[in-house]
Amino acid sequence: MRVIRQRSFGPRAIMPWAMVALFVAAISLSGCDDTLIDPFDNEERYFTVYGFLDLLETEHTLRVVPISRFAESIESTEGGSAAIDAEVFTTDLVSGVKTKWQHSYELLDDGTWGHVFKARFLVSPNRSYRLEVVRSDGKMSVAETTVPNIATATLFERGPVVFEQDSTVAYQDLTIPEIASPWDVNLIYLWSSGPINRRIFVPYGRPGNRTDDGGWQMRINLSDDQEDVKENVQWSIDQGMIPNADAYNVNAMGVQIRMLDANWDPPNGIFDPEILAQPGAMSNVQNGYGFFGSVGLYIEEWNIAELSRDLGHPF
């Protein structure tokens, strides 16, 4: 029995795979095998960086690759490769608080080693953060990000609920103004039975497409989602939390969206690896390559108690 839970949004979970392609392409052209800056014409680019700040996390991670004419592919910790001529700082541009990130030398998924910097701090929505990756001679690569935030509680434009095929298939179209490039979408359903009120999260990924006015539109598959609700109800019965499957209803639903910052917006809202893998195609790093962004959160819920029976629930 699968129990639907809210998913963890750590650094690995939210990293868009096409942005990884961009990162890999950048370091393939601008990496290094050692920690010394190779004296070649690098057009004043010093580091490739990739990482982001997550509103739901307290520990943040950044990978840093010094730029030289050799691609970085470190296969062991021997030979002094674990050292790097770089310090990393972020500054909250509202409070002025400056945080130094701690360096570690970590084994990566591909079996090579990389320079990883980590820092622990709370991220605030609608605040801007400045990243500085500084070499010992004062040369630095710089990037800024503003954590996305939408203050209104009623953003979505909901179409009518449509029942088709003898009312066995139900869907609803949703338009999302102001969010041009949502990343991770979860549908939320709230069911209740006596004193129990439980939210379940149904993962949708990144469905839909961009609207002409810069928003996003998607379709909610209401009838399909109810199978997840019923599975969660059955799990609750099996655990002895409610007496039987005839004693519950669905009274609310909503949508949870992970929002990418404005710099993290691909052409036409599409993460196309053929486009994004081109060095510099999507980078906000001054005097460097790569990307430093941030991820925010938006949730909106509404009452659907009148639809509970139509969607196949007892009352």
The reported pLDDT for the residue numbered 255 is 98
Q: Among 22-31, 44-53, 61-70, 181-190, where is mean pLDDT lowest?
A: 22-31
Structure confidence by residue, pLDDT tens digits, 75-92: 555 545 678 999 999 999
How many other CB atoms sit within 10 Å of the CB of residue 178? 14
Phi first, then psi, for residue 131 (nearest 5°) are: -100, 135
3-state secondary structure of 223: helix
Record the tokens describing residue 282, joined without a space.
């999507």
Interatomic CA distance for residues 183 and 205, integer angstroms: 7
Interatomic CA distance for residues 251 and 229, integer angstroms: 12
* CA distance to 29, 278, 298, per residue, from 172 (Å): 46, 37, 19
- Between residues 188 and 69, the one the model is more confident about: 188
Q: Which residues contact 106 (CB under 8 A, 6 or more apart)?
A: 113, 114, 116
Is the pLDDT at 141 greater than 70? The verdict is yes
β-pairing verdict for 140-146 and 128-134: antiparallel
Is the pLDDT at 281 greater than 50? The verdict is yes
> How sure is the predictor about 31, in pLDDT bands with cuts at 50, 70 and 90?
very low
Highest mean pLDDT among 8-17, 41-50, 268-277: 41-50
Phi first, then psi, for residue 276 (nearest 5°) are: -75, -20
The reported pLDDT for the residue numbered 195 is 85
Instruction: Kindly tell me the sign of the dihedral angle through the C-alpha atoms of 258, 262, 268, 273.
Output: negative
Closest CA to 83 of 51, 105, 106, 110: 105
Contact call for residues 64 and 119 (beta carbons, < 8 A): no
Which element (helix H / strand E) includes 252? strand 249-260
> How sure is the predictor about 38, in pLDDT bands with cuts at 50, 70 and 90?
very low
Contact call for residues 174 and 218 (beta carbons, < 8 A): yes
The reported pLDDT for the residue numbered 71 is 54
Interatomic CA distance for residues 279 and 28, integer angstroms: 9
Structure confidence by residue, pLDDT tens digits, 154-177: 999 999 999 998 888 999 999 999
The reported pLDDT for the residue numbered 27 is 36
> How sure is the predictor about 247, in pLDDT bands with cuts at 50, 70 and 90?
confident
Phi first, then psi, for residue 179 (nearest 5°) are: -110, 95
Task: Note the Cα 315 to chain centre separation in Å.
Answer: 36
Task: Note the Cα 281 to chain centre separation in Å.
Answer: 20
